[in-house]
A = this chain, B = another copy of it.
Amino acid sequence: MPGTSTTPSALPESPSDIPPLGYALAQLKGIYILAENAHGLVLVDMHAAHERIMYERLKIAMANEGLSGQPLLVPESIAVSQREADCAEEHITTFQRLGFELQRLGPETLAIRQIPALLKQAEANRLVSDVLADLMEYGTSDRVQAHMNELLGTMACHGAIRANRRLAIPEMNGLLRDMENTERSGQCNHGRPTWTQMGLSDLDKLFLRGQ
């Protein structure tokens, strides 16, 4: 099913007091949010949209004073390779700026004491191990700096809601409102659309109405 009438990067104009992305109706297949706006049906890829919102939030926080951390109630230990443990030590200040507090417990063991507050719902273990993988790839601190946005993207992915998480209508509406207030929320971090509009005229065409 090819193109839709509006490009999803531009929010539709709302003739009334209905918000641009409308109000949530339901969740579909644990992946999409269905909403009704002034123009018709809105389909939102909930993970992609939330990932984008998280990413912009992380970027803004980073640009201000770095990410604030949220201590874990119980520190988590994570098994890594020796090279990864070395990398964690080498980039300890980068981790700090990102809101992490890590400690090397042994040749191949790290303790996670704190993760970024914005990602407090993420799985700490996998989050740290993916950030470590990025850091291993970027190498020196200079290159890490140049790839800071990719790092934040990796982290945003961990913070975003996963497929098959059941959302209540108010949570869905919250996400729609966040999208409206987030720059470039029409595209996910990988450039894919986060939502799409099926206007009444698109729907009418599907049903050969008015022909």
**CB under 8 Å from chain B, chain A span 164-180:** none
CA distance A106 to B200 in the complex (A): 47
Q: Shortest distance in angstroms between A107's beta carbon and chain B's nearest beta carbon? A: 40
Interface bin, chain A: 20 to 34
Chain B residue contacts of A4, Cβ below 8 A: 1, 206
CA distance A207 to B194 in the complex (A): 7
Partner of A2, one of B25, B26, B205: B205
Stretch in A28-36, A131-139, A142-150 with 4+ CB within 8 Å of B: A28-36
Known: A28-B34, A43-B206. 20 other contacts (CB 8 A): A1-B1, A1-B2, A1-B198, A1-B202, A2-B205, A4-B206, A25-B25, A25-B26, A25-B28, A26-B34, A26-B36, A29-B36, A29-B40, A32-B41, A45-B207, A192-B207, A192-B208, A192-B209, A196-B206, A196-B207
A-to-B contact residues, CB < 8 Å? 1-5, 25-26, 28-29, 31-32, 34, 36, 40-41, 43, 45, 48, 192-194, 196, 198, 200, 202-203, 205-209, 211
